[in-house]
Amino acid sequence: MRRNFICRCKAKLLLFLFLIANSGHLLQAHIEQGHLAGKGQETQPNSTIYSGRLQNGLRFILVQRRSEAFEDSSRVAIRMRVAGGWQAEASGESGLSHLIEHLARAANGALSPKEVAAFRDKRTVIREWGAFTSPYSTEYFLTTLSNDENAIGDAFSYFVGIARNMRFSNETVDRERRVVMNEMADRLPLAERLYRRARALNPGSEWDVSRGYDSTDVPTAGLEAITELYQRVYRPENVTFIIVGDIETTTIERLLRLRFGDWSAEKAQPARVEVDSADTSRKLDIKKLSSSREEINSRFTTAPDVWGSPAVLIGFRTDFPAYFAGRTNIPRRESAVLYKVISHILHHRLKLRSIEAGLVDTSFMIDDTAEGLSTFLWQSASPNGEWRDVLAILLDQFEAARTGGFTQRELAIAKRLVRRQHSDHQDQALSYSNSNVSTKISFDMIRRYRVLSDEDRLSAEGRFLDTVTLETLNSAWRAHATNFTLQARLEGFEENATSILHSDLAAFVANYDPKPLSVLGYPEFTTITKFGPSSGVIINDETTVDGIRNLTFKNGAVLRLINRNHEGKLLEIAVSAIAPRARADLTFCDAQTLPPFIVAGGTTKHNASQIINGRWGRDVRLSSFEVTPSGLAITASVRHDDVAYAFRELFGYFSNPAFNQSGNEVALAQVRQRRIALDRNPVNAILGAYERSLEAIGSEYGPVSEVDCAGGSNMKRAALKLHPILSRSQINVAVSGNISENEIIDLFARSFGQDRRENETFEPSSVAREIDPDPKAFIMPADNRNHEIVGIAWPLPRVSDADDLANQNILVSLLARMAYVKLVERGSSYAPHVERRRLNFQKDTFAVVFAVATPKGNASDILAAMGEVADDLVNSPIDFDLFETARNLVIDGDKRSYNEDKVWAYLAAQLTSDPDVVANWRSSAEATNRVSADAVRELAGVTLLPPIPQPAWPVTIE
């Protein structure tokens, strides 16, 4: 996937990140005979988007954008899309599109590998550099440091070396083969599961045509096959450049003509290309799609996958294009708006019914990535392994929607949610980076939407949304339902999978009599817990040098206000409950498994399903409760309009925790699902193993597995352990954003500020026992039995000031880069994760965590290589360019986090237990400029000098 050596985030193709259009500015196309085909001229009135084609078919989309928020306004994002992706592969070519993407640096036809690395590190924003292969395209992207013509010209030179004349050799290809296979080891288990689902439920969709990111031919394909695919796909008519920034369109056109105007491909047309995104008649590979359908012998399938969680899935397919109020073939973008409305309603209904039945992880989505097919997908998990209960809920809801229809209230809330999304994108677009804007345009092309400016897109979607009435919505749903083809699938029921037959599923669905649902949803709840009068008494009000206003109330509660004064509509709220003595009673298992019981139990006013229904339609996004070294914490992102409701809900958890036994099964299932999700991230898996090993020091029982942790948790234990923290703690609340201070103070005074609590005496030194940890290495099972997670945790010294924090951040950055070079470029592994992470077993303790997911058999080589990296950092001079690259990465990260309201609120809430946390963070960028290579080497000697030990528990289980 991406070739960014530190940031390994998968490309966020589904992220709607939009730009603001400068209305009233018309860009006139400058056409030069012989270079621009007249048909390709695509100017749009009142828009900053200009699109055109060179005579050879290469397309370009230019977005003239001057953003002054959150980034250097002179940076230019450049993205090169090569249509084809996984779909372009023929027999014997599975995975080769991805392999070619990986060769962009080593086989670049214009620059040597060292020149590519130097260009990346010195001339671009490293965090916005990368590439990925999707079912539809291979995309290479970067962001220049300036909009200077030379900077953009150098970027085009890099892209020329990829698009026109890559140089394949046995040496470079063989090295990258192993890298690609190691990368897929990290992703294949989930990808294969999604592929099998798509084959059964949604043939022709994105995951089906990707074949689960099949890399079968990567290890053995010869240079001839790789070259054939490259020459067939990398052609000018398949290439689109998306360029966003403060640019002169005539300059960009001239540079494109200079670098690509004489490019012509001699090979035959590719077997499969992506047509112009404005053309809604895009064709699928019919042979491949037909084959996919023929392989489905039954509408009902089982998949006994022991590594997947128990899930029941139902797909309802409509074998015709999107339908609305008797019209077919409406624009895909407008049909997507309709699907958003339906998705909001049905997802909410299913979630409520599932919680009532003790189920979790219910989701609903509509997938229209297959041509001529729209698939409505419902999914839920069963903690007790009984698939019939889950299937019954889904069938009941389907029939209720078909026969009874939706309600006016549901339509109004769903419309409000869609309009709020539009408003947020329009009002906050200035904060989006140019790179994110190019990603959004790429997403529109993949979904075959016409590329529009933000202004035009929002206007078109808003007009269509206005036409959606209850009558037309219900008629559209019934038209869909009449033509549905049902497909059911079971996954993860390993204990009784052999007894689940296709005939059982078929008989159950055929004979099931849906229960009539007289009430479609609950009445709207307006109160979670009543506020008292504004009786909280403020005894101290001061503002720190960091601009944080601290208000201390008579009952000991603290409110911190960080007024950010920008256009954002969301406020960030962080609540910390300080109760060190009660926290000390929690074991590692308790800390990992008990927090979900708080929400599942609800409050004394409402149960969990009532709380969720009351929140529906409001923009209140709560995180999970987390155990901290000194108590409990939770964060929330809240729209200004809904801040009062958010305060009521949060206050309810801390003042009236119920721990209703009815939520026990839901909480247990959430614990299991949460641990599965966390452990899919290798860093989380290694960190969890390290913390378990530290918790076991001095214990006669030794470390405990996550399964044992979950099995020992229940609502009764949660109430016993967590109720004292919730009810007797000191409460700190931090609110960051564009806030109305008087409103927030009044809400706090009527809730947390007037609550009478039996506060513990705050004694930071008694938070937890003091442990002097040693480094540890681990080898752990991964999702797939043929793979494992390998990692090391090195404890870091305590941070006393900003210089200490800067030293540690640069050390982590250097270690990540050197691990990448040592492991990735010699093929031992792919995408090593290196992060600085907090340990929760005692106060203010952090560790450097290294982790990779890899096929079995690589562990000893990886650990030996990391030992060499540690030795190099300690005993060898640090390369100057490498050190400066690491420094710039840290500074860039500090700048980004400084602009995030969520970070401000999170850190401000910690000020009571860590008075220096904000000051150190605020000064870290300045301190980073002072850090010397010698200081980092000295820190490396303290941290990394002990030899890496033999792998500790847990070991790979055969």
For 760-774, write each residue's pLDDT tens digit: 655 544 444 556 678
**pTM for the full predicted model:** 0.80
Reported confidence tier of residue 793, pLDDT bands at 50, 70, 90: very high
C-alpha span between 108 and 25 (Å, rounded) = 39
Q: How far is CA 319 from the centre of its chain?
A: 31
- In angstroms, rounded to a whole number, what is the distance separating the alpha carbons of residues 355 and 681? 27
Say how far apart CA 439 and CA 12 lie, in whole Å: 8
Retrieve residue 920's tokens.
């150190």
Check: CB of residue 43 under 8 Å from CB of residue 29.
Answer: yes
* Alpha-carbon span 414 to 477, nearest angstrom: 15
DSSP 451: P
Token pair, residue 650, equals 């949060």
CA 856 – CA 843 distance, rounded (Å)? 36
Tokens 């074949």 identify what position? 211
Q: Alpha-carbon distance 74 to 262, whole Å?
A: 29
Answer for the pair 691, 588: CB distance below 8 angstroms, yes or no. yes
The phi, psi pair for 810, rounded to 5°, reads: -70, -40
What is the C-alpha R_g of the chain? 28
Q: What is the mean pLDDT of the chain?
A: 78
3-state secondary structure of 3: coil
- 890: amino acid identity, one letter: V
Can you give the three-state secondary structure of 401-450, one letter per residue? Answer: HHHCCCCHHHHHHHHHHHHHHHHHHHHHHHHCCHHHHHHHHHHHHHCCCC
Other beta carbons within 10 angstroms of residue 212's beta carbon come to: 22
Q: Is 31 exposed, middle or buried (0-12, 13-18, 19+ CB in 10 A)?
A: middle
Dump pLDDT digits (tens) for 592-624.
889 999 998 888 878 888 888 888 989 899 998
Write phi, then psi, for 790 (nearest 5 degrees): -115, 135
Query: pLDDT higher for 890 or 267?
Result: 890
Could you tell me if 826 and 175 are in contact, meaning their C-beta atoms sit under 8 angstroms apart?
Answer: yes
Give long-range contacts, CB 8 A cutoff, 24+ apart: 302-305. 302/489, 302/490, 302/493, 302/497, 302/500, 302/501, 302/502, 302/505, 303/196, 303/200, 303/489, 303/490, 303/491, 303/492, 304/492, 304/493, 304/494, 304/497, 304/498, 304/500, 305/193, 305/491, 305/492, 305/494
Of the spans 8-22, 368-382, 438-452, 575-589, which averages the highest pLDDT?
A: 575-589
**What's the chain's length in residues?**
958
pLDDT tops 90 at residue 692: no
> How many Å apart are CA 385 and CA 672, to the nearest integer?
13
How do 239-245 and 59-64 pair as beta strands? Answer: parallel
891 conformational bin, left if phi > 0, alpha if psi -120 to 50, beta if neither: alpha
Name the DSSP class of 365.
E
Higher local confidence (pLDDT), 367 or 174: 174
595's CB contacts (< 8 A; 6+ apart) are 624, 625, 626, 627, 632, 722
How many CB atoms sit inside 10 A of residue 17's CB? 19
Amino acid, res. 290 = S
Instruction: Give residues with Cβ within 8 angstroms of 599, minimum separation 6.
Output: 608, 611, 622, 624, 625, 653, 667
Distance in angstroms (rounded) separating the CA atoms of residues 596 and 609: 14
**Do residues 761 and 637 lie in contact, with contact meaning Cβ atoms separated by under 8 Å?**
no
Q: Check residue 272 and give its pLDDT.
A: 36
The residues facing 631 across adjacent strands are: 578, 628
Cβ count near 198 (within 10 Å): 26
Band (168; pLDDT cuts 50, 70, 90): very high
What are the beta bridge partners of residue 497?
Answer: none
pLDDT digits (tens, 9 = 90+) for 40-98: 334 333 347 888 999 999 999 998 887 555 456 788 999 999 998 888 888 899 899 99
Angle of the 387-403 helix axis to the 332-356 helix axis, nearest 10? 130
Cis peptide before 954 (omega within 30 of 0): yes
Q: Looking at residue 808, what is its pLDDT?
A: 95
- If you average pLDDT over residues 281-291, what whole number do you get? 32
- For 705-724, the pLDDT digits (tens) are 555 676 678 899 999 999 99
